[in-house]
């Protein structure tokens, strides 16, 4: 597989879809320095503080230097997660095998040119830390396995609140739950499809196959925050 380092097992694949829909919002992004400050202050937020504590307890402390702020220019991704165990990939739109690179340190990328408000940074970091948590606590997690990847995406999209806006919009309506789940499913599918080891149909099958178990797996939270 192109781009896979000879020493490494290709493992992580963690691109995130941009959290909004519609046209690119680069014109409305936060100033870069505010984004960097926002990353630091995000860890004061209760959900992220809790996740970071849980990571530390699990033996995988999250250090701020593992988080990289950058401008991702002309892509639609908002961030990425790179397992310390192997290889990470990037955007759905940039994706090519050349883009897969060896990554031997856990690294989370925040695309500052896609962040408009603090809440975008918080959601993205929670999402990526769920991947990091899964990487830490799941024995033999294999990011080239579409079902493993699908499970972590379902959890990350569910637990990060990536789909909360749907809930808010539809609060009080019978469909709330269905809408949120649709959103989690759609976003998870989008990420797994971009795993070079998963074809379109394998991604779809994987998301369906693990859906119930992984949607209901809210570790390390008692329930979705």
> Which residue numbers are catalytic?
128
Specify the residue, 37 or 94, whose C-beta has the smaller distance to Zn ion: 94
Q: Whole-number minimum distance, CB 161 to Zn ion, in Å?
A: 13
Q: Does 163 bind Zn ion (CB under 5 A)?
A: no
Specify the residue, 4 or 90, whose C-beta has the smaller distance to Zn ion: 90
- Of 62, 72, 152, nearest to 115 by C-alpha is 72
Q: Whole-number minimum distance, CB 191 to Zn ion, in Å?
A: 5
Return d(Cα 153, Cα 14) in angstroms, integer: 8
Phi, psi of 222 (to 5 degrees): -70, -40
Q: Whole-number minimum distance, CB 153 to Zn ion, in Å?
A: 5
Q: Does 151 bind Zn ion (CB under 5 A)?
A: no
Q: Does 156 bind Zn ion (CB under 5 A)?
A: yes
Q: Whole-number minimum distance, CB 134 to Zn ion, in Å?
A: 10
Sequence-separated (6 or more) residues with CB below 8 Å from residue 225: 47, 126, 159, 161
The interface with Zn ion within residues 170-209 (CB under 5 A) comprises 191
Specify the residue, 51 or 156, whose C-beta has the smaller distance to Zn ion: 156
3-class DSSP state of 133: helix
Specify the residue, 89 or 153, whose C-beta has the smaller distance to Zn ion: 153
- Of 92, 112, 97, 111, nearest to 153 by C-alpha is 92
Q: Does 129 bind Zn ion (CB under 5 A)?
A: no
- Beta bridge partners of residue 101, listed in sequence order: 88
């Amino acid at each position: 597989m192109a781009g896979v380092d000879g020493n490494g097992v290709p493992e992580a694949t963690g691109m995130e879809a941009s959290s909004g829909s519609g046209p690119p919002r680069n014109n409305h992004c936060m100033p870069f320095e505010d984004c960097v400050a926002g990353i630091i202050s995000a860890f004061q937020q209760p959900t992220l503080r809790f996740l970071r504590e849980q990571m530390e307890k699990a033996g995988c402390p999250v250090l701020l230097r593992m988080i990289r702020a950058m401008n991702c220019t002309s892509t639609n991704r908002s961030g990425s997660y790179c397992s310390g165990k192997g290889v990470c990939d990037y955007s759905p739109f940039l994706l090519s095998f050349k883009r897969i690179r060896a990554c031997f340190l856990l690294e989370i990328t925040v695309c500052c040119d896609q962040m408009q408000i603090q809440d975008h940074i918080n959601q993205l970091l929670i999402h990526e830390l769920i991947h990091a948590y899964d990487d830490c606590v799941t024995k033999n997690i294999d990011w080239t396995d579409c079902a493993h990847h699908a499970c972590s995406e379902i959890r990350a999209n569910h637990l990060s609140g990536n789909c909360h806006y749907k809930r808010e919009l539809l609060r009080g309506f019978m469909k709330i739950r269905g809408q949120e789940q649709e959103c989690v499913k759609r976003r998870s599918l989008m990420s797994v499809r971009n795993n070079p080891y998963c074809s379109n149909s394998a991604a779809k099958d994987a998301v369906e196959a693990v859906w119930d178990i992984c949607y209901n797996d809210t570790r390390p939270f008692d329930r979705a925050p």
